[in-house]
Amino acid sequence: MPEHISAVVFSILTGIVIIFQGCLAAGVPWGEASMGGRYPGKYPPKMRVVAILNMFILSFIALIVLSEAELLLSQFKTFTRIGIWFVVAFFGISTFMNTITPSKIERIWAPVALIQLITSLIVAIN
């Protein structure tokens, strides 16, 4: 049961990040809160494409977590048993990077990434 709750919490937070990436891709001037603040204001066209790619990657990551928790696509469990550990590692790195970023505003993502790390770890070990 804790893995189900963790997977849902993880997915909700990932959905928020996907929405944020969608806003960046659409030209909302929040670039300072991403990529170390390297692109303040609106993202340039190349980075908007990167934001769209991030949306797909994050969606795939959420599917791995939901599948591993057997809430969605449980037939992929053999793949997700390994994939979940890549997700845990990804959010370990993400937590670290969002903590040390030179952009003060981007540090708001550190607690989000930490919760994603913890919830994905709970799914991985259950």
Query: Per-residue confidence at 73, pLDDT binned at 50, 70, 90?
Result: confident
The confidence score (pLDDT) of residue 78 equals 83
Q: What is the largest distance, in Å, between two alpha-carbon atoms of the chain?
A: 43
Tokens of 18: 């996907």
The confidence score (pLDDT) of residue 55 equals 98
- CA dist 29 and 20 (Å) reads 11
pLDDT in tens, 18-49: 999 999 999 999 999 999 999 999 999 999 99
- CA dist 86 and 91 (Å) reads 9
Domain positions in the chain: 2-125
Radius of gyration of the chain from its Cα atoms, rounded to whole angstroms: 15
